[in-house]
Amino acid sequence: MNDSRVQASTQKLLELLEELGAYTASGPGVTRLLYTKEWRQAQIFLQQKMVGFGLKVTTDKVGNVYGRLCGRSPEEMVILTGSHIDTVVNGGKYDGAYGIAAAMVALQDLQMNYGQPKRTLEVVSFCEEEGSRFPIAYWGSGHVTERYDGSEAATCKDADGISLQAAMEEFSFLQGVTEGNGARNDIGAFVELHIEQGIILEKTDTQIGVVQGIVGQRRYMVKVSGAANHAGTTPMLMRQDALASAVEMLYVLEGAAKLAGEPLVATSGKLEVHPNTPNVIPGEVLFTLDIRHIEEDDLECFCAKLFSRYYEITAERGVTLEVTPVLHTLPAPMDTKLSTALENICRQQGKTYRTMVSGAGHDAQLFAPRCPTAMIFVPSRSGISHSPEEYTSPKQLAAGLEVLTAMLYELAY
């Protein structure tokens, strides 16, 4: 495309992002939780825009919105691209929204420049990915890929006690809802464009991240029980200090994670002490572990060694340990052929790029086991996301759009 066309596409993209960002609950940044008024308005806005972009709009029963550009060979599998419309509380305007807006602009550009594609192209705005309102994540892509069948909605409740089922029934759409529970078996490839949500691209001054895979995650709740006691009258060697025990465990965690090296990351983000009084030796400590790696074997090995060491610490200190797994997602490797194609596109377009791992979860990881899947990252300023401070410059956004457009062209034309 020539410069003026690129400029016009970037302009369209920025406008779409601004318009989407306006659908938010009050407070700083963007708050668009699943099945809320602002969420519904954003999905309706997208439906209207898609119609304007010449796309055929459909919706499924959970509220995923699709815009279809029909191909000349309807018997061939669909090329799907997009991301999620929901946000965290006080999030930014790029996480999720960028992948949808860029996909819409790409489809319009492709149609304008090259006419009808051979294979059908579809943009999708998944209803939910973050798990911010209900304690369930990937509600949108999880329906498309048959992780969920909808039966989960009856028991899953938000902080106000509203069930996912009740919240879902409250909304209705402008356009016709498709039959079934939203599952699709006609997807031939999925491509997701997203902000990095990390600092690597910025730090290395790179325009594009070609994602090789999304890490597997394990989350645990660890409970250490010792004996609460008087901080003044209990000698150091007669203590069963739950916090001192947890401290040793977390010190071991960090050391082991640094030793393991990239791409392993290990974090304790939440820790609570009981009774939490300055002059009482803690009797109980609860803390979370979040451990991620791109190789399931490495993850398994790291966790096994870690907990084996934890049980040693427990025995040495006369405290007790309870480890509860709360999440276990497998690593999701991206399609090698698509990744290579993305690298070639970057080279052809003269863009700096690097292959990398995604440490964050994305809708793409649900598609990876079912069809060739690819992910493209653009930089996040200071690595910040899930914050009103989230920012990617227009130039960086435009670079991602160009790569996505070229990839979709290769797949569908």
Residues making contact with its own copies (CB under 8 A): 196-200, 203, 215, 217, 219, 229-238, 241, 243-244, 247-248, 250-251, 254, 257-258, 262-273, 276-282, 288, 290, 292, 358-361, 383-386
Shortest Cβ 300–its own copies spacing (Å): 18
CB-nearer residue toward its own copies: 102 or 285: 285
Residue 172, classed as helix, strand or coil, is coil
Shortest Cβ 203–its own copies spacing (Å): 8
Q: How far apart are CA 381 and CA 68, in angstroms?
A: 33
Nearest by Cα to 223 from 279, 283, 266: 283
Per-residue DSSP letter, 77? P
User: Contacts for 153-161 with beta carbons within 8 Å, 24 or more apart?
Assistant: 158/133, 158/134, 159/133
Shortest Cβ 252–its own copies spacing (Å): 10
CB-nearer residue toward its own copies: 193 or 412: 193
CB-nearer residue toward its own copies: 344 or 382: 382
User: Contacts for 20-25 with beta carbons within 8 Å, 24 or more apart?
Assistant: 20/45, 20/46, 20/85, 20/93, 20/97, 20/100, 20/101, 21/93, 21/97, 24/87
Shortest Cβ 169–its own copies spacing (Å): 30
Within 13 Å and on the Cβ side, how many CA atoms surround 403? 33
CB-nearer residue toward its own copies: 60 or 248: 248
CB-nearer residue toward its own copies: 107 or 210: 210
Q: How far apart are CA 321 and CA 69, in angstroms?
A: 56
CB-nearer residue toward its own copies: 156 or 313: 313
8 Å CB contact between 156 and 163: yes
Shortest Cβ 326–its own copies spacing (Å): 8
Shortest Cβ 14–its own copies spacing (Å): 24
Shortest Cβ 374–its own copies spacing (Å): 18
Shortest Cβ 146–its own copies spacing (Å): 25
User: Contacts for 390-393 with beta carbons within 8 Å, 24 or more apart?
Assistant: 390/29, 390/91, 390/92, 390/93, 390/94, 390/95, 390/195, 391/92, 391/94, 392/94, 392/98, 392/195
Where do we find the tokens 């300055």? 278
Backbone Cα Rg of the chain: 24
Per the structure block, which two tokens stand in for 204?
Answer: 């290395």
8 Å CB contact between 33 and 86: yes
CB-nearer residue toward its own copies: 142 or 361: 361
The residues facing 374 across adjacent strands are 191
Nearest by Cα to 46 from 27, 66, 18, 62: 66
Which amino acid makes up residue 60?
Answer: D
Shortest Cβ 330–its own copies spacing (Å): 15
CB-nearer residue toward its own copies: 122 or 158: 158
CB-nearer residue toward its own copies: 21 or 383: 383
